[in-house]
Chain A
Amino acid sequence: MKVSLMITCLCDSFFPEVGESFVRVLRRAGAEVSFSPDQVCCGQPAFNAGYHDEARRVARTFLKAFQEAEYVVSPSGSCAEMVRENFLRLFNRYPAELEQAKALSKKTYEFTEFLVKVAGVRSIGGRFDRKITYHPSCHMTRLMGVKDEPIQLLQSIEGLTLLELPRAYDCCGFGGTFSVKMPDISEAIVTEKAENVLQSGADMLVGADMGCLMNIKGRLEKMGHAMPVMHMAQVFDQAQGGL
């Protein structure tokens, strides 16, 4: 099982520690992990904002970086979905690249989905003594259909209590450029999400996408709540003994 990491801009530049946990968990699941330094952003911000020529330019570089990969795995459902679905739309009228995009689409996975469906992981093993609540990200759950895998894996960890997040499936209000284009609405949505997180009674928020997590965490902190927030990969990694 050879995995080429799709590290994502956020984990590369803002949250490298998430990337490290992500690598360790993949290795423990039996993957041989590689990293292509030619990778750039997947182009999602521009694609969603309606700038498709600009998105294509970035996506072309991205396509090249992963041509040789057996599996491409991402710690973000949103970025994985961009590559898996939207690349096909983006290169629809570009036959040569469309072929590459199709090939890439078939081998691209979100992290928990890969663990369960490809690596056959049933249990994370280890222990994590925390009361957590889980925010399921929109693109991962609705657009990719990865709903049960994260929950199944979290529940396999001893000592971990998974508390219900009220209205868990509601969007956190990030939405890429939406967050700065419609800041008032974005703030109102994330405030509701933050309140629900607090109401869950958990002492830690866990998610599988750093975009949503940085949004909710940023709001919680601004509201004066220093609740720890972790990516799923970090929880798995710590349960398995960390470094």
Chain B
Amino acid sequence: MAAGNRDLHGRIQSAFRHPFLRKAVKSATNTLRDRKNVVTHDLGHWEDWRNLGMQIRNHVIENLDTYLQQFAKNMLQQGAQVHWAVTAEEALSIFQTIIDKHSAKLVLKSKSMVSEELHVNHVLEDRGIHAVESDLGEYIIQLAGETPSHIIVPAIHKTRQEVADLFEKDSGQKQQPDTASLTRYARQKLRQMFLDAPIGVSGCNFAVADPGAVALFTNEGNGRLVTSVPPVHVVFMGLERIVPTFRELDVMAKLLPRSATGQKITSYMSVIRGPKGLGEQDGAQEMHIIIVDNGRTRILANPKYQEVLRCIRCGSCLNVCPVYRQVGGHTYGWVYSGPIGAVLTPLLQNDLKNWGETAYLTTLCGACTEACPTKIPLHEMLIQLRLERTVSGATSSLERTAFRLWSETWGNPTLYKLSMKGGYIGQKPFMKEGHLEGGPTPLSAWTNSRYFPPIAKETFRDRWRKGEI
């Protein structure tokens, strides 16, 4: 599962080498968060809706086993086949069996973050099976050979011109860089594939336990085609993605599109209750649901992070995150990005040492927590991850020594005062016109881009002691 790039600083540098990417991300996230503010304000009582969202998701997570069984039982009764996959490998092998059974060489997909997590496309490609993304954004990043840089808007980092260039390379023909022409190109390319593909793959925004149903929120209509035109429909579902009934789905339908894209409702909402029944016109002849754990029950068992399973993958925390907005999604190294990615990546990878550095991609401003429709305390979890890294010895010995010295000095009022006096003298070589410049690290990390104020000749406590205040 580890595929991805573990070199955090390399990833940051790469983001800064692409000013267009940074501009595109900033402007798109501004649009998304502004639209969200308008529609949530229009709905009214947004805080109440968030509380409701949190309660529903908490309730589901506390009773996950019951709801999963109920969902599976109902879907089976309605003619679908339900598969349980503990690991990524298991999920992929179940999928392979379905592919083999139908001797499929082409698989058409609509957007699914779980399938990104499993790297389905790469695995299939290696086995000579062509998997094609039909969501426009996913289609673009697939052509570019990249992972999504946003949960909702996977190609958020690409300008129209870059997309046109990709399509030109794909088609060998000149392409106009306007949205209408680009969409037309993708549509023409994909249309025939919808008809040819024996297997369609979708994700699952929500699984309704009673009566069993899979709900998809989409904007391009591709979701509907993928789930109903090919004879076989395979759903990749994260095992926490449940709601009890349609009543709770209705609450999610209020929260998700508003938080994600600032829409009151997505253009399409598909509710699929099983394969085509006798006498029915639409639907796949065969429906498979692969319920994927891949580390989720491990998170469930850990009270420190359990709440992260409330996530409905709306991407709202990305759009408000000052760090994400500067560096985009690929900086997070794997498939999930922004604050939720910074938390989920080390947890799902189960590797704090190599992946835990994502926990430093935050100023701890709390904007993510404030934006989250299910009130996940993301910024607190990021501190918790940092703590666990420290405790497990994953941080550098230099940093550990620095904090130990700091606490020994600053934990004692006399030494604290002395250290400030020392600082006052020590800063002199770097003083220039009332501020500090240059200096050793970490001071230089600051002074490279900002002036640093000098320690005052007479501190507040000195002045107080002298009775001057």
Residues of B within 8 A of A51 (CB): 387, 390, 400, 403, 407
With a cutoff of 8 Å between Cβ atoms, the chain A residues found around residue B465 in the complex are 37
What is the size, in residues, of chain A's interface with B at 8 Å between Cβ atoms?
Answer: 67
**Closest chain A residue to B30, Cβ basis:** A167
Known: A15-B453, A189-B326. A138 touches B445 (CB 8 A): no
Q: Known interface pairs A55-B407, A179-B446. Does A12 touch B322 (Cβ–Cβ under 8 Å)? A: no
Q: Which of B407-438 contact A (CB under 8 A)?
A: 407-408, 410-413, 416, 420, 423, 435
Closest CB of chain A to B319's CB: distance in Å? 12
Hey, which chain A residues are within 8 Å of B101, CB to CB?
A: none
**Selected contact of A218 from candidates B367, B399, B446, B459, CB within 8 Å:** B446
How distant is the Cα of A188 from the Cα of B326 in the complex, in angstroms? 7
User: Is the CB–CB distance between A184 and B442 below 8 Å?
Assistant: no
Nearest CB in chain B: distance from A207 CB, A: 14
Q: Does any Cβ of B come within 8 Å of A48's Cβ?
A: yes
Residues of A within 8 Å of B404, CB to CB, are 54
How distant is the Cα of A49 from the Cα of B403 in the complex, in angstroms?
A: 9
Closest chain A residue to B453, Cβ basis? A14
Interchain CB contact under 8 A, A139 and B322: no
Q: Which residues of B contact A47 (CB under 8 A)?
A: 383
Interface size, B (range):
35 or more
Contact A49 B455 (CB under 8 A): no
Say whether A93 faces chain B, with CB atoms less than 8 Å apart.
no
Establish whether residues B469 and A50, one from each chain, have CB atoms under 8 Å apart when the complex forms. no
B437 (CB) vs chain A CBs: closest residue = A222
Q: In the complex, what's the smallest C-beta–C-beta distance from B129 to chain A, in angstroms?
A: 40
Select which of B323, B410, B442 is within 8 A of A40 by beta carbon.
Answer: B410
Assuming the A-B contacts A219-B449, A219-B450, are A40 and B364 also in contact, with contact meaning beta carbons closer than 8 angstroms in the complex? no
Cβ contacts A168-186/B at 8 Å (1 or 0 each): 0111011110111111111
Check if A49 sits within 8 Å of B386, measured CB to CB: yes
Is B460 an interface residue, CB under 8 A from the partner?
A: yes
Residue A190 CB within 8 A of the other chain: yes
CB of A185 within 8 A of CB of B327, answer yes
B360-380: contact bitstring with A at CB < 8 Å (1 yes, 0 no)?
111111110110000000000
Verify if B463 is at the interface (C-beta below 8 Å from A): yes
**Residues 447-469 of chain B, each 1 if its beta carbon lies under 8 Å from chain A, else 0:** 01111111110111111110001
Q: A138 — nearest CB in chain B belongs to which residue? A: B365
- B45 to chain A: closest CB distance in Å? 18
Q: How far is the CA of A13 from the CA of B327 in the complex (A)?
A: 34
* Pair B383/A48 contact, Cβ less than 8 Å: yes
| B268 interface contact, C-beta 8 A | no
CA distance A219 to B448 in the complex (A): 10
From A13, A39, A180, A190, contact of B420 by CB (8 A): A13
Are B449 and A183 neighbours in the complex by a CB distance under 8 Å?
Answer: yes
Partner of B460, one of A20, A52, A184, A189: A20
Q: A20-B469, A40-B413, A45-B406 are in contact. List 9 more A-B contacts (CB 8 A).
A: A40-B410, A48-B364, A50-B385, A50-B386, A54-B406, A182-B12, A185-B326, A189-B323, A221-B451
- 26 of the cross-chain contacts (CB-CB < 8 Å) are A13-B420, A13-B460, A16-B456, A16-B463, A23-B469, A35-B461, A40-B412, A41-B410, A41-B416, A48-B383, A50-B359, A50-B388, A51-B387, A54-B407, A57-B408, A138-B367, A139-B365, A169-B367, A175-B364, A181-B360, A183-B445, A187-B450, A188-B327, A191-B449, A221-B450, A222-B450
Residues of chain A whose beta carbon lies under 8 Å from any beta carbon of chain B: 7, 9, 11-16, 19-20, 23, 35, 37-41, 43, 45-55, 57-58, 60-61, 65, 138-139, 142-143, 169-171, 173-176, 178-192, 214-215, 217-219, 221-222
B residues sitting closer than 8 Å to A (CB atoms) are: 12-13, 16, 22, 322-323, 326-327, 359-367, 369-370, 383, 385-390, 395, 399-400, 403-404, 406-408, 410-413, 416, 420, 423, 435, 441-443, 445-446, 448-456, 458-465, 469
